Amino acid sequence: MAAALWTPKSLDLGLWIFVLLLNLLPEARAVVGHREPLPDDSKDNITIFTRILDRLLDGYDNRLRPGLGESVTEVRTNIYVTSFGPVSDTDMEYTIDVFFRQSWRDERLKFDGPMQVLPLNNLLASKIWTPDTFFHNGKKSVAHNMTTPNKLLRLVDNGTLLYTMRLTIHAECPMHLEDFPMDAHACPLKFGSYAYTNNEVIYLWTQGDERSVAVAEDGSRLNQYDLLGHVIGKETISSSTGEYVVMTTYFHLKRKIGYFVIQTYLPCIMTVILSQVSFWLNRESVPARTVFGVTTVLTMTTLSISARNSLPKVAYATAMDWFMAVCYAFVFSALIEFATVNYFTKRSWAWDGKKEGMEIREPFQANMARIKDMRRESATLSKKANNTFNIVGTTYAINVAKDQGLTTISKSATGASAKHPYLHKMDDPYTEAKKSYNRVSKVDKISRIIFPVLFFIFNLGYWATYVNRKPAIMKANNLN
């Protein structure tokens, strides 16, 4: 019966449909051939991770920390110091350039994909939750943005994130300058969460307390200090809003003394020695010794003022202040010593001269009286002999010497002159008194020994005390 249904008309219709399908077959092949080079969307990594990120961020709230209400978020940190310094003594701060790394786990960002670690652009950091870390002792911090923000973000398939940024931090460094310039300091770097207490977010060192902070070998930018090392730890501070975890790193610095030895200590020592040279000058050299004293005092004043310019205005005395104060005392004492010697030298000359003058004046006055008597007798004899002549001292005319009386007078006068030779020097009776003026002062003799010995003992005790104090300073810093 089915065969009866096939009529010539139906056969023509079937043939026509068959021919139509044959004509459309090449076009279908062309379309299929065009699709063969196109990649399969299911095998493209970019497309895969784009879909993964879209799925992860869909419904993600970056205002909420990971594990809110369930567990404490652990943030592991480590620091790589690329540059340390300079250190400012006047402002009590230092500059440090670091790569600051933080790592935490966010269960909301788990994914399955062809890659275990997914490097991401820093723009994604603004779309996910990140720790609100800040530096407690930082005065100014700069995040570098040239040429693009210096940030790194990596996502691991288990939801762990690594967030790294480059920072330049100006942090304060409390300094105790009692031992300046032989001092050592422990400059801290403290950071922690600003808003989350230790019941919500805690910080841990990534690689333990030994290797979590590293300093580049050529990272020191210090001219006056040596970077001896660092000690890291963890503290808990309490405030009105709760208890917070604070991560700490103390950088140990030791000041280099070479600059201060050249600029301050040696000039002070040479100035003190120069002031003691005046002890070897004649005490009559008033201008020279005065110049020595005044010049050295003014030099010490200038040195003390210039040494203080590089320090903060602290209310206590430093080790350098004590040294300069003692040097100033030595210089000023040398000036006072000269004033004392000069004063007693003049008083001694006046007193000795007066005493010796009295001893000379008594026989001088007696001899003058005898000379007057002899002059009267000579005048009487001259009148008797009707011969006019003048008596000058003990010298008489030849024609007068023939008289026996005059001869006796002449011999008597000559004997008096020989017995008292100082009569020829009546115009300068204090010559012997002046000889005591040129003697070396006993004060100068004592000062030539006492001053150098005392200054040497002071230097010996000073350097022995402050140089050996270094271990105690470093121990105190380690306790911090």
Who has greater pLDDT, 113 or 260? 260
Pairing of strands 73-88, 213-215: parallel
pLDDT at 32 over 50: no
- The label of the residue with tokens 């050295």 reads 296
What confidence category does residue 330 fall into, taking pLDDT thresholds of 50, 70 and 90? very high
d(CA 227, CA 221): 10
Tell me the pLDDT of the chain averaged across its residues. Answer: 79
Please give the pLDDT value at position 16.
Answer: 64
Please give the pLDDT value at position 346.
Answer: 58
d(CA 355, CA 346): 14
pLDDT (mean) for 44-51: 83
Please give the pLDDT value at position 326.
Answer: 96
Residue 96 half-sphere exposure, CB side, CA atoms within 13 Å? 27
Least Cα distance to 289 among 327, 342, 348 occurs for: 342
DSSP state of 38: S
| Listed ranges 301-315, 339-353, 421-435; the one with the highest mean pLDDT | 301-315
Do residues 252 and 222 make contact, with C-beta atoms less than 8 angstroms apart?
no
Q: 319-384 and 266-276 helices cross at what angle (nearest 10)?
A: 20
pLDDT at 353 over 90: no
pLDDT at 8 over 70: no
Q: What percent of the chain has pLDDT over 70?
A: 71
Please give the pLDDT value at position 462.
Answer: 95
Q: What is the pTM of this model?
A: 0.70
263 phi and psi, to 5 degrees? -90, -25
Please give the pLDDT value at position 308.
Answer: 83
Please give the pLDDT value at position 380.
Answer: 62
pLDDT per position as a tens digit, 117-168: 999 888 899 999 999 999 999 999 999 998 889 999 999 999 999 999 999 9
